[in-house]
Amino acid sequence: MLDERRATSVAYDRSTNTLRVTFERSGPVEVSPGARRAGFLVDARGFLVGVDLVRNGSRVVVMLGGHEHVERVVDGDVTVVPALSRQGEVELHIGEAHTRVRGGDANPYFR
C-alpha cells in the first residue's frame, strides 16, 4: 500500500546539519517513531522533493514537490519523532542534510 502525504513544514538546523520535514501523522499507514531506512527523492540539482519510507511492506511517501521533479533516489537513514510544536504531526530528521539533500539551501518545492 502506498500512502502519500504532503509536508506541512521544512526546517534546517545548521548547528546539527539536520533537515526536519513535518507531516500529518494520521493516514492509512501508521508512522511510528524510530530510526529507519528511507529513499530521498531528489531532483537534478540535488534538492529534496520527497521521502519514501518503507515499513513492513507498506510505504509512506512524504512529498515537498511533484513526482515529475524526481530525478533519482538516494538511500539513507531518517529518524521519525513526534513533532513537539504540532500535535498530530511527526517529523523526519535527515542527518548530514547539507550534503545529502542541499538542506541548508532554500528548497524550491516548499515555500
Residue 32: predicted pLDDT: 80
DSSP per-residue letters across 11-60: EEETTTTEEEEEEES-SSS---SEEEEEEEEE-TTS-EEEEEEEETTEEE
Q: d(Cα 100, Cα 10) in Å, to the nearest integer? A: 15
Instruction: Look at residues 17, 36, 37 and name the one whose alpha carbon lies nearest to residue 102.
Output: 17
pLDDT tens string 45-74: 999 999 999 766 778 899 999 999 999 999
Instruction: Report whether 90 contacts 81 (CB < 8 A).
Output: yes
Prediction pTM value: 0.90
Residue 1: predicted pLDDT: 63
Q: d(Cα 17, Cα 19) in Å, to the nearest integer? A: 7
Q: Residue 27: how many CB atoms within 10 A of its CB?
A: 12
Q: d(Cα 55, Cα 37) in Å, to the nearest integer? A: 9
**109 pLDDT exceeds 70?**
yes
pLDDT tens string 67-84: 999 999 999 999 999 887
